[in-house]
Amino acid sequence: MAQIISIPRQVLHHEVATRLRQRIVEGRIAGGAKLNERELSESLKVSRTPLREAIRTLAAEGLVELLPNRGAVVAQMSEDDVADTFEVIAGLEGQSGELAALRITPEQLAEIQALHYEMLAGFTRRDLPTYYRLNALIHTHINAAAGNPVLTQTWSTVNARLQALRFRSNFDEAKWKRAMKEHDGMIDLLIARDAPGLRGLLTTHLLHKRDAVLDLMRTGRLNAHHQARA
């Protein structure tokens, strides 16, 4: 008789959170939309318990809001919130880059380079979900290479709120090309161990993302579902 393998509760909760996060980040669930537990439990093929735990996780990250009498809705940020939060993340990313250029190990650099080449392939195919997943990993690895746990914790908390917006910042083809070119420059600066240069480039990179998101908000294209063909 076939053995029944049960999925540990924490593993299931983590998996559900990952899949739900991806739907929100990629805009398959729009900002401001209510999270329908019945529909989500059916589409994700899970019971309500791990789904509710996943929703609480995303609420702690800032991707979801828990509202009295309304339940869970996908968080929406005002233009001021976007500008203020990107201003903070730009400073944190700049500091991460500066410290990473000074402290990165050859192994960490090789891993970031490998991710960069994979990301370039995703960009060439105009595969935005793959590109974004690898892009996020690169920024995470640069932050880790900085070797400062307090910086990492602070960056992770602020960055969690911006994942969906960072994804959408590439909807405009020209801005996506500019972001890719900036990532090419990040690799060159890491190899050169140019700490001031990498700090400056990462700060500029994040402010460009801020401007791209604000432009989408002001022109009503933020929740467009097409990929990088605005």
At 140-180, the pLDDT tens digits run 999 999 999 999 999 999 998 898 899 988 888 999 999 99
Using alpha carbons, select from 194, 200, 140, 201 the residue that is nearest to residue 166. Answer: 140
User: How buried is 160 (Cβ within 10 angstroms: 0-12 exposed, 13-18 middle, 19+ buried)?
Assistant: middle
* Total number of domains constituting the chain: 2
Q: Looking at the structure, do residues 208 and 98 belong to the same domain, yes or no?
A: yes
pLDDT tens-place string over residues 187-223? 999 999 999 999 999 999 999 999 999 999 998 877 6
CATH number for the domain that contains residue 180? 1.20.120.530
Give residue 230's pLDDT. 32
Question: Where residue 29 falls among pLDDT bands split at 50, 70, 90?
Answer: confident
Domain carrying residue 66: 9-74
Using alpha carbons, select from 51, 45, 74, 54 the residue that is nearest to residue 62. Answer: 74
Using alpha carbons, select from 121, 143, 145 the residue that is nearest to residue 133. Answer: 121
Tell me the pTM: 0.82
Q: Looking at the structure, do residues 37 and 104 belong to the same domain, yes or no?
A: no
Question: What are the beta bridge partners of residue 65?
Answer: 73
